[in-house]
Chains A and B, each alone.
Chain A
Amino acid sequence: MDRIRRLPTGVVWALGTLPLALLVWDTLAGNLGIDPVRDIEHRLGRTAVYFLLASLCITPILRMARVNLVKFRRPLGLLAASYAGLHMLSWAVLDMGLLWSQMLKDIAKRPYLTIGMGVLVILLVLAATSSNAVIRKLGPVRWRAIHRWVYLAAPMAVFHWLLAYKIWPGKPLMILLAVAVLLAFRLPLLRRRVGLRAGSD
């Protein structure tokens, strides 16, 4: 485990660009199937959720397995925000064909799009306040208060995923369960149970 901890964060970045590289490869090679637009859009969105989930695993791993992977949390979060941004761009350009009026109306009127945009705004704010300089400027208390918004963004992201379907599909439901478990670790009651200090996140 110590060996993982000593890996440079560049490894996370390298692994993090892999899904994008694969997607570009599949697009160029024509591996995407009958409707590439949908596949590109959905894969980017799913990847964003997976990185968001990974970033939420860091604290429970620290508390329960006593393995400190905190230095990987920033790149994981930034990857989640980047994939969310690409997901939104693919929606706007490929899916909606930049039909601005319909896009704006839809975002205002359709809960799953309103929620999706809300998640993106949160993730972009967190990304923008993630540098050491900004952390110093804000101070730890305010910085932590801002970054707790991820606890809202994560379930909203999965909810956005679920709402785009006609039925309740299994996979995002399982992911929602995973998010619920990860967030439960942050509840004061459970935190005490697993020996977490109050005030840590």
Chain B
Amino acid sequence: AVEEPNSFEQITNYNNFYEFGFGKTDPADNAGQLTTNPWAVEIGGLVDRPGSYSVADLAPENAVEERIYRLRCVEAWSMVIPWLGVPLAGVLQKAGVQPGAKFVAFETLYRPEEMPEQRRNSMDWPYREGLRLDEAMHPLTILAIGLYGKPIPNQNGAPIRLVVPWKYGFKSIKSIVKITLTDRQPVTTWQSMQPREYGFYANVNPTVDHPRWSQATERRIGAGLLGGRQETLMFNGYGDQVAQLYAGMDLARDY
């Protein structure tokens, strides 16, 4: 990307992480108490080597690379973020994906003592997300562990999170504790809460509006008071790499 990344301050002080509150600054205000060390990610389901993996197992230092990705939130704002991470494909291969696996399900940590919103019934915790296996194996899909060359701050999904740059931000689940390979499309949090508004695929798509707002344009955070809006690109501008995943699908139906 030729676009200038957002500043570390912008990225770490303006985001959604509903476990810490529904406001854009709540994650930065409330995530400090989250314990991220030790941390274990349980990989299971249709894999040859199920088990508990540490962050270092999944993303050894010598495998980590920088990826500067656009992030498009379903709320029609966007940023550009320099992540550090590893391709998810490599992680899944390490666990040994069995032939029957068709989907990957993810779960965020459930720890109400440290995640204040989980002490309320505002959502069906823990947060769940999922990808089709080919989406998960796509080279653009990464597990991120860092930001701007530093370990990822708690509010952005420490210590390890998913980043799928052609999908709305809510697909990129944070603070992952569980990855399950399955033969069935997993139930995901937003889709189960409001199926009319949030689909399983959630591909960035300027031609399919959210029922309550248009997705045709977006506001780049940091553009300034008179920065206006820019056009949203199909698949968030990654169509060259990912459009073939959806060949023949009706993306207005499978939104």
Contact = CB atoms under 8 A, between A and B. Distances in A.
Nearest to A33: B25
Contacts of B247: none
Interface in A165-198: 165-167, 169
Nearest to A166: B75
A22 interface: no
Interface stretch (A43-51, A92-100, A136-144): A92-100
B14 A33 contact: yes
B171 interface: no
A19 interface: no
Nearest to A112: B212
A34 B221 contact: yes
B246 interface: no
A148 interface: no
Interface string A95-128: 1111100100110011110000000000000000
B222 A34 contact: yes
Contacts of A2: none
A20 B221 CA distance: 23
B214 A34 contact: no
Point out which of B209, B219, B222, B227 has the most chain A C-beta atoms below 10 A from its C-beta.
B219
Contacts of B123: 167
Nearest to A168: B122
A156 interface: no
A163 to B, nearest CB: 6
B10 interface: yes
Interface in B225-249: 225-229
B219 A37 contact: yes
Interface string B61-81: 000000000000011010000
Interface string A6-35: 000000000000000000000100000111
Interface of A: 27, 33-38, 40, 93-99, 102, 105-106, 109-112, 163-167, 169
